[in-house]
Structure 1
Amino acid sequence: MSDETRYQIDVEVETQYLPTESDPEDSRYVFAYTVTLHNAGTVPARLLSRHWLITDEDGEVKEVRGAGVVGEHPYLRPGEAFRYTSGTQLGSAVGSMRGSYQMVADDGTHFDAEIKPFVLTAPRTLH
């Protein structure tokens, strides 16, 4: 069995623009994102930390690192999922996020779960 199938956390992201929190006239665009982590591997694992790269449409990159997610360090047995919602603020109506979660398996192996790039966009901004 390969490490790829033993240590596999699938990450899905849904985004939502928050118009009531945003102020476009002040270049403030707020987005919520809901992440679902699913342990598609064969070994239980705990999320230790996160690393995000948040890019606005001007190419400015904000790097965010921190312990856990929303104050938790979810433990996922094979087949289990964990879902949480968080948010970010951009200085532009369009941006993107990508990153990784740093995990540790029950056998002590450390591995990363990739967060593939996804787009954040306020309504009526993409042509």
Structure 2
Amino acid sequence: MNWGTAYKKTTENIEVSVQPIFLSDRSEPEDELFVWAYKVHIQNNSDQQVTLRQRCWHITDAYGNTEVVRGEGVIGEQPVLEPGQSFEYTSGTPLSTPSGIMVGTYDMEVEGGGWISVEIPAFSLDSPHESSRLN
């Protein structure tokens, strides 16, 4: 797979990098189904252990319609990251338009107490079926 541009954001020494890719083999443009995969890399550059407890995504299509998706952990896991450790996973999203944008947060519990809200960078979902890229 030829992954797209890496979008990166760092919050309190936790770096989140996202690479989207359009999945033409899973999309059906004639039925208004456009599907993307995205690879997320989370790097703990802090000096504290953190546990990813919850996620919140804002997925916006080309018409400005936004769906908010909340849930525990990611891909059925609540990864624990020691200082210097990283975690990577792949997921995906469908849209009914040929482009969109995603952005979100991870709520992480800090060892010893406390929470941080780690920002996921906004990233563009563009397909070759979009005549002019809006995002």
Q: TM-score, normalised by structure 1?
A: 0.91
Q: Which runs of 5+ in 2 are unaligned?
A: 1-9
- What amino acid is aligned across from residue 71 of structure 1 in structure 2? G
Name the structure 2 match of 1:66. 71
Q: 1:12 is aligned with what amino acid?
A: S
| Per-residue deviation, 1:6 | 9.8
Is 1:86 the equivalent of 2:91?
Answer: yes
**Residue-by-residue CA offset, 1:2-60 (whole Å, 9 max, x unaligned):** xxx99431100001111111110111100000000000111010000100000001000
Q: Which residue of 1 aligns with 2:29?
A: 24
What is residue 98 of structure 1 aligned with on the other side? 103
TM-score when scaled to structure 2?
A: 0.86
Contact 2:17 2:41 in 1 (8 A): yes
Output the CA distance in 2 between the equivalents of 1:43 and 1:59: 38
Q: Percent identity?
A: 41
CA separation of 1:6 and 1:28: change in aligned 2, threshold 3 A = closer
Equivalenced residue count is 123
RMSD of equivalent CA atoms: 1.6
Matched AA of 1:114: E
